[in-house]
Amino acid sequence: MDNNLMENFLTTLHSHSKDIGITKIYSQVLKMNGTKVSAGTFSNKFTPTSKEHKLTLTEFMSVMKVLELDDSGRHVSVFTEMLDVFSLKCDKHYVEPNVDITYKSISNALVGTSKEHGDVSNEIHEALKNNKISPTEIIKIKKEIDDEIDALVKLKAILIKASSTNELIK
């Protein structure tokens, strides 16, 4: 197993978990499986460089479930990076359950991809102001790229669902 890929995965997991809120994840994991650790210890288990604290398999699977359920798939990049550790690939498409396939929903998804692309460009531009990119800036850029990929996957999923109906979209 490639240690760099594992580090990348753990960093992405940490970043996306912070995005939701590790305290919120802790409370949801507690409901799912009654983890026996304190909130502080649980939070420490998310630090990618921690040698002392690691998520148990049950905690990890529960965290992945929380990420899956949060916002109907915006954390799909966590799953993608996890698969990269094992040289696997998954082509997952998701559409939020309450999205009607209309001209407006496709247009909104397109606007979302444009917004995310702008965020990627802004993050890179900001990082390059001093003519170098730090490891922290790389993590921020990768998160923005992940968000853009997620937006594109969402748009693609809407189009796949639309094409399955074989009807004119209005």
User: What whole-number distance in Å separates Cα of residue 45 and Cα of residue 60?
Assistant: 10
Helix (H, G, I), strand (E, B) or coil at 98: coil
Q: What mean pLDDT do residues 25-54 have?
A: 85
The mean pLDDT of the chain is 84
Q: Is the pLDDT of residue 149 over 70?
A: yes
Q: Which amino acid is at 30?
A: L
Q: Is the pLDDT of residue 138 over 80?
A: yes
Spell out the alpha helix ranges (H) of the chain.
Answer: 3-20, 22-33, 39-44, 57-69, 76-85, 103-128, 135-165
The encoded tokens of residue 144 equal 């923005």
The model's confidence at residue 107, banded by pLDDT at 50, 70 and 90, is very high
Inter-residue contact 20 to 68 (CB < 8 Å) = no
The encoded tokens of residue 93 equal 């498409």
Distances (CA, A) of 108 to 87, 94, 167: 34, 16, 19
pLDDT at 121: 97
Q: What mean pLDDT do residues 128-147 have?
A: 91
User: What whole-number distance in Å separates Cα of residue 21 and Cα of residue 34?
Assistant: 18
pLDDT at 99: 73
Angle between helices 57-69 and 3-20 (to 10 degrees): 60
The model's confidence at residue 153, banded by pLDDT at 50, 70 and 90, is confident
The model's confidence at residue 132, banded by pLDDT at 50, 70 and 90, is very high
